[in-house]
Amino acid sequence: MSSYSRISGTGSALPPRKISNDELAADLAERGVETSDEWIVARTGIRFRHFAEEGTTSVDLGEQAARRALESAGLQAHDIGLIIVATSTPDMIFPSNAALIQGRLGAAGGAAFDVQAVCAGFVYALTVADQFVRSGMTRHALVIGAEVFSQILDFNDRTTCVLFGDGAGAVVLSASETPGVLASALHADGRQSSILCTPGRVSSGQVAGSPFLKMDGQAVFKQAVHVLEDVAREALAKADRLPADVDWMVPHQANIRIMTHTAKKLGIPLDKIVVTVDQHGNTSAASIPLALDVAVRSGQIQRGDTLLFEAVGGGLTWGASVVDY
């Protein structure tokens, strides 16, 4: 009887359009918005990001990542009994991105739903899928993070529009007799919803509120550096592991300063952080599975490595998972 879930495949997708800080700064200058490569790199570590072309959606990117993850796992779509998509930029109000991707893959019949925990969404979705597999409700689950944040950015706000990019990442979780996902910890504090939000909704055919991302960067940074260390230690303790046991930390790729601060607090060497924020920017729920796939395919992460995933996002939401890959 299989009683664990293990990552059996990974995949990712990026829109072809890659934009440097200099290119973005030139575009913003035409709007009267000042920024520079030096300003962005110094504060975030971001050098490039990918933006989807008009008409490319999070379902498009999620489907591509899912197909690559299935191929990596050596599975067919009909093997999948559960699809969970973590996204804040879905194609429709309903149905879910998970249902739309299920239809495209030809995986009808299993469960499919979305999880909305913003940048912490992948850790939330992975934790839910792990429970489905452990309980025997499914043998194979597809967990996808897919975002097109470029569509909700206010390009007159330099404090946010330089940070985010588009992309998708996916993993297949499969039933296993050996442990894979060792432990997770999830938290939220809805009292802090206003520091990172997109406070709009559709009402009577109109947008009520704002359709653009709003962020109090200093408040988010202050919270992030506090909660990420705590939740990482909580997940490690549940897994009966120490920070010294971590081969690779695969954090949410929001800001290099937050990532290195957390590693230092945990005592994890900085060369043990998987870093893609310089190439992708902040892809929200896609960032961890995207970084994971890049590291797996480059040979950086090997089978048997112990991984630490951790993320914080709007809500405020935060979480961590410890995984034997």
Rounded CA-CA distance 202/205 in Å is 6
Eight-class DSSP state of 110 = B
Based on the domain organization, do 306 and 164 belong to the same domain? Answer: no
Q: What is the pLDDT of residues 258-287, one digit of tens each?
A: 999 999 999 999 999 999 999 999 999 999
Q: What is the CATH number of the domain that holds 267?
A: 3.40.47.10
Rounded CA-CA distance 196/75 in Å is 38
Based on the domain organization, do 167 and 194 belong to the same domain? Answer: no
Amino acid 310: pLDDT: 98
Active site residue 161: no
Arithmetic mean of pLDDT, 78-103: 98
Contact (Cβ atoms closer than 8 angstroms) between residue 82 and residue 110: yes
Amino acid 131: pLDDT: 98
Based on the domain organization, do 31 and 94 belong to the same domain? Answer: yes
pLDDT classification of 2: cutoffs 50, 70, 90: confident
Range of the domain at 298: 182-324
Eight-class DSSP state of 273 = B
Based on the domain organization, do 161 and 208 belong to the same domain? Answer: no
Other beta carbons within 10 Å of 230: 14
Arithmetic mean of pLDDT, 184-211: 97
Catalytically annotated residue among 50, 97, 119, 140: 119
pLDDT beyond 80 at 1? no
Q: What is the pLDDT of residues 27-76, one digit of tens each?
A: 999 999 999 999 999 999 999 999 999 999 999 999 999 999 999 999 99
pLDDT classification of 14: cutoffs 50, 70, 90: very high
Q: What is the pLDDT of residues 279-312, one digit of tens each?
A: 999 999 999 999 999 999 999 999 999 999 999 9
Query: Could you say which of 129, 146, 177 is where a domain stops?
Result: 177
Q: Which two tokens stand for residue 58?
A: 């999070």
Catalytically annotated residue among 161, 252, 255, 280: 252
Based on the domain organization, do 126 and 152 belong to the same domain? Answer: yes
Q: Please state the pTM of the whole predicted model.
A: 0.98
Based on the domain organization, do 162 and 220 belong to the same domain? Answer: no
Q: Which two tokens stand for residue 308?
A: 């630490």
Amino acid identity, residue 142? L
Contact (Cβ atoms closer than 8 angstroms) between residue 28 and residue 161: yes
Q: How many domains does the chain have?
A: 2
Query: Could you say which of 177, 204, 234 is where a domain stops?
Result: 177
Active site residue 187: no
Rounded CA-CA distance 45/199 in Å is 27
Other beta carbons within 10 Å of 84: 27
Query: Could you say which of 148, 177, 206 is where a domain stops?
Result: 177
pLDDT beyond 80 at 82? yes
Q: Which residue has the tokens 């290099």?
A: 256
Q: Which of 146, 106, 151 is nearest to 293 (CA)?
A: 146
H-helix segments, 153-216: 158-161
Mean predicted lDDT score pLDDT of the chain: 98
pLDDT classification of 154: cutoffs 50, 70, 90: very high
Q: Which of 146, 140, 142 is nearest to 116 (CA)?
A: 146
